[in-house]
Amino acid sequence: MQAGLNSFTLTPKQWIEKTGAVGIISKTGRYGGTYAHKDIAFEFASWISVEFKLYLIKEFQRLKEEENRRLSLAWNLNRTLSKLNYRIHTDAIKEHLIPPEITPAQASITYANEADVLNVALFGKTAKQWRDANPKLEGNMRDHATVEQLLVLANIESMNAEFIHMELEQVERLKRLNQIAIRQMQTLTTRVDVARLPTGKEEKP
């Protein structure tokens, strides 16, 4: 009823008392004033000033674009590291796992099999299983990996090359690589969802 009167005013203090508002503080006196949570302050400033609202939107867009550029650079860097480490990985395979006098087609089977050791250790599935589960996506699972996954992939590629030089069996290498992948993903991610991390028990290459 009071709100319908021309003389009606609603001070911040009255608003707090009548509605039990939180996020707003109103003090009187020499050092008094009205203070609000930044979300409330932004909304209020946007309501009274269209220029401020436009500035807020533009600034948000700029920050998101900058964030996306940084993430893109990090992703590309880790993808490059992964490719460089993969060369070390394939050289170890060529030296220790591929017998002499075989055809290139036969050699490619060994390379693909060892690549799937890494895939299962990190992603929990082989390249074929990923393609079957994602028929509409272009590229391979590594093209759709996160920055953290690509970094771990680069690490376990180097580790697998060393394990091959040590002449460890493939099953033993897979178990070790999976344990390393889990530990490193837990370290790199702030929220660890253990149920989503591959254990190495579900799939074997």
Q: Do residues 151 and 188 touch, judged by C-beta distance below 8 A?
A: yes
Position 186 pLDDT exceeds 50? yes
Tell me what pLDDT residue 155 has: 85
Domain match, 13 and 107 both: no
42-56 mean pLDDT = 84
Range of the domain at 31: 2-36
Q: What angle do CA 164, 167, 170 make, to 5 degrees?
A: 65
Q: Does 68 or 34 have the greater pLDDT score?
A: 34
Distance, in Å, from the CA atom of 191 to the CA atom of 129, rounded to the nearest integer, reads 26
- Which residue shows structure tokens 């009823």? 1
Which DSSP symbol is given to 117? H
Q: Does 189 or 132 have the greater pLDDT score?
A: 132
In a domain, 123, yes or no: yes
Domain match, 12 and 100 both: no
Q: Do residues 153 and 121 touch, judged by C-beta distance below 8 A?
A: no
DSSP string, 145-181: --HHHHHHHHHHHHHHHHHHHTT--HHHHHHHHHHHH
Alpha-carbon distance values, 163 to 6, 61, 96, 156 (Å): 83, 47, 11, 10
In a domain, 67, yes or no: no
Instruction: Name the pLDDT band for 18 (thresholds 50, 70, 90).
Output: confident
Alpha-carbon distance values, 101 to 62, 91, 107, 112, 165 (Å): 58, 17, 10, 19, 21
What is the percentage of the chain residues whose pLDDT exceeds 90?
Answer: 1
In a domain, 204, yes or no: no
Average pLDDT of every residue of the chain: 78
In a domain, 181, yes or no: yes
26 φ, ψ (degrees, to nearest 5):
-125, 120
In this structure, how many other beta carbons lie within 10 angstroms of the beta carbon of residue 194?
9
Domain match, 28 and 92 both: no
Q: Does 5 or 158 have the greater pLDDT score?
A: 158
Tell me what pLDDT residue 114 has: 84
Distance, in Å, from the CA atom of 94 to the CA atom of 100, rounded to the nearest integer, reads 10
Distance, in Å, from the CA atom of 190 to the CA atom of 198, rounded to the nearest integer, reads 17
In a domain, 126, yes or no: yes
Domain match, 26 and 83 both: no
Tell me what pLDDT residue 48 has: 84
In a domain, 23, yes or no: yes
In this structure, how many other beta carbons lie within 10 angstroms of the beta carbon of residue 86?
19
Tell me what pLDDT residue 77 has: 67
> pLDDT digits over 87-131, tens only?
666 777 666 655 455 456 655 667 778 888 888 888 888 888 899
- Our count of domains for the chain comes to 2
In a domain, 155, yes or no: yes
Position 199 pLDDT exceeds 80? no
In a domain, 50, yes or no: no
